[in-house]
Amino acid sequence: MTENPRVLTKKDFSSDQEVRWCPGCGDYAILAAMQRALPEIGATPESTVFVSGIGCSSRFPYYMSTYGFHTIHGRAPAIATGLKIARPELDVWVITGDGDALSIGGNHFLHLLRRNVNLQIILFNNQIYGLTKGQFSPTSAVGTVTPSSPVGSIDQPVCPARVALGANAKFVARGYDVSRELPELFKEAHAFPGTAFVEVLQNCPVFNDGVFDLITDRKSGPQHQLWLKHGEPMITADKKKGLRLNPKTLQVDVVTLGEGVSESELLVHDETNSTLAWLISDLPDVKALGVLYRDPSAPVYDDAVQAQVKMAKKAGASADVDALLHGGHTWKVS
């Protein structure tokens, strides 16, 4: 950014702490993407705060040279909300995981999104509990074999994007750890006024290795990745398949282009359409990536808080404590 007199680089956002994720962990790539994105946004380390919960992902703040708060399991959205209300001018990022946000912190996740507090929340989804050594998580597929589910998990998973849409989130995006587009997604999230939710598919090489290979592998990936662009038809990265609305079922069908299907029949992405976002958010064979939904017109929570404070002060209400204590009926004893 030209208006920033200091030219900052990735290095300015790296702390002096040794990064302690397992070798090959997807978190390294996400950290690098963030450190790359922040200087391009024009962020400064002093005005940026990373707030995290508990889990592998939540060690993230220690590796940033910004302000950081590694809090307790599931509660980062609530702590970040308090921080943002008290200090609306700060640039606040919440770092969380599938267990942290969708299990123990599910309630706070829901309420952060519905309030539309002006911050970014990045959910590292590796479909497993890493830090506690490999139990199934709320996003694990049914049948996942783990120490706590030796013959396969029986819990139905949730789709994070759908939880977010259900909670009335106004910005929902998805990427994956090693994708080149990730810094761009973080920038889009940052630019959004309100809560910007980004799910990052993240590989855990120790407890759930390869769970997203179909989507992230260089060979198979292009057939399964669908990068969304506002106003453009929905086509997979290999240009072979697309999404078409089936008017009879009101579902989205994955169709192969050329076999009697032309591009003009495909759905065109409208990121302001929450119904469309819902339809494409949890497809069986194709992963919609990029910005699924964006509604920048929604009221922002911290703005509304400040507006009420401003109104109270403008209304001429005295901020004199003595006057407060003398309000109502009083009497004198002499």
Partner 1 sequence: MQTSSKDVKRELLDSVVIRFCGDSGDGMQLTGTQFSSATALMGNDLATFPDFPAEIRAPTGTLYGVSGFQVHFADHDILTPGDEPDVLVAMNPAALKVNLPALKQGGQLIVNTGAFTSANLDKAGYTSNPLEDGTFEPYRVLAIDISALTLQSVAAFNLGAKAAGRCKNLWTLGLMFWLFGRERDSTIEWIRKKFAKDPNLAEANVAALNAGHVYGETAELPQGIGIYQVPKAQLAPGTYRTISGNDALAWGLVAGAKLAELPLFYGSYPITPASTLLHALARLKAFDVVTFQAEDEIAAVASAIGASFGGAIGVTGTSGPGVALKTEAIGLAIATELPLVICDVQRGGPSTGLPTKTEQSDLFQAVWGRNGDAPLVVLAAATPGDCFYMGIEAVRLATKYMTPVMVLTDGYLANGAEPWKIPSMKDFAPFPAKHLTEKPEGFHPFMRDPETLARVWVKPGTPELMHRIGGLEKGQHSGNISYDPANHEAMTKLRAEKIARIANDVPEATLDTGEPGGELVVVGWGSTYGAIKQAVAQVRAKGRKVAHLHLRNLWPLPRGLGSLLSSFGQVMVPEMNNGQLVKLLRAELLVDAQPFDKITGQPFRIAELVSEIERRLGAPTTERPGVQLQA
Whether 54 and 29 have beta carbons less than 8 Å apart is answered as no
Q: Does 332 interact with partner 1 (rule: CB under 8 A)? A: yes
CB of 156 to partner 1, least distance (A): 24
> Per-residue x/- mask for partner 1, residues 93 to 112, rule CB under 8 A?
--------------xx-xx-
Which of 194, 51, 190 is closest to 116 using CA atoms?
194
Q: Are 118 and 302 in contact (CB under 8 A)?
A: yes
Please give the residues from 285 up to 314 whose contact with partner 1 meets the rule CB under 8 A.
Answer: 305, 308-309, 311-313
Asked whether position 268 contacts partner 1 by CB under 8 A, the answer is no
Cα separation, 315 vs 324, in Å, equals 15
Size of the site for partner 1 (CB under 8 A): 59
Place of tokens 């783990």: 146
Q: How far is CA 12 from CA 9, 64, 173, in A?
A: 5, 9, 27
Candidates 35, 81, 139, 202; binder of partner 1 (CB under 8 A) is 81
Residue 254 buriedness (CB in 10 A; 0-12 / 13-18 / 19+)? middle
- 84 binding partner 1? (CB under 8 A): yes
Q: Coil, strand or helix: which one is 2? A: coil
Distances (CA, A) of 334 to 88, 322, 325, 331: 48, 19, 19, 10
Q: How far is the CB of 282 from partner 1 (least distance, A)?
A: 25
Q: Which of 35, 57, 71, 179 binds partner 1 (CB under 8 A)?
A: 71
Residue from 17, 220, 251, 272 that binds partner 1 (CB under 8 A)?
17
7 in contact with partner 1 (CB under 8 A): no
Q: Catalog residues that contact partner 1 under the rule CB under 8 A.
A: 15, 17, 44-47, 49, 51, 61-62, 64-72, 75, 77-87, 89-90, 107-108, 110-111, 305, 308-309, 311-313, 315, 317-319, 321-322, 324-326, 328-334
